[in-house]
Amino acid sequence: MSLSEIIKNLLSGLPNTLFILVTSFIISSIIGLFVMWLSLQKDKISKAIAKIYTGLSRGTPPLLVLLLSYYEFPRLLGFVGIDANDWSKNFFAIFGLAIGFGGYMGELFRSAYNDIDDSQFDAAYAVGMNKRDVLKVIIIPQMFTIALPNIQTMFLSFLKASSLVYVIGIADMYRNATTLANVSQGVYQLKIFIVLGLLYWVITLVFEFLFNLYIKKHNYS
């Protein structure tokens, strides 16, 4: 089996890998912002919900969350009359990764929010800005600036975790590699997985370059 054949076969799963990676990361970020918002509320119930979810999210293996998402979540939907048996496997992969990493994203955003000096709120209120405008114009942009290095690290963690979706039968790069190794009866297994590792490394380098380019363009330190 030639190197070009292996690369071509593995790259056929790249669109699925990237789609699941980007979509799950965006949804997980939204969940993280909501969890951060809950954790900053004054009432104990909101704080408790955020704390419990964060603990479960950070303490549960991503593989287990994916399996629960694919095998058990449709059953839960069935109790309320929703038939999810024909839904795309990509949906459950994205849902599982987003839920599984939402707690990490919430802590990431909360930490960045807490690093912002309280005096900026006071200064903004002093010039007549309301709370909504303060958050939109001053606080949230700074929060993302502070969090950006950690966002980059988390995104690359998502890339590695996305390879786990093969367990629910999604034809991503890792699934294609295992299938190809089985078809060749293990003869080219080492070669196939070395190529797979190098492909993930190249993808990581590309995303690192894009993040660093964005940081440099916007003069983030």
Dist CA 70 CA 64 (whole Å)? 10
Q: Considering the entire predicted model, what is its pTM?
A: 0.86
State how far the Cα of 217 lies from the Cα of 220, in Å rounded to an integer. 8
Half-sphere exposure of 8 (CA within 13 A, CB side): 5
Q: How many C-beta atoms surround the C-beta of residue 164 within 10 A?
A: 22
What is the spatial distance between Cα 60 and Cα 98, in angstroms, rounded to a whole number?
13
Which CATH architecture fits 15-169? Orthogonal Bundle (1.10)
Q: What is the mean pLDDT of each run of 10 residues along the chain (221 residues)?
A: 85 90 93 90 90 91 90 87 86 92 91 83 78 78 85 90 87 88 81 92 93 77 51
The label of the residue with tokens 């900026």 reads: 120
Q: Under a CB-based contact definition with an 8 Å cutoff, are residues 14 and 173 in contact?
A: yes
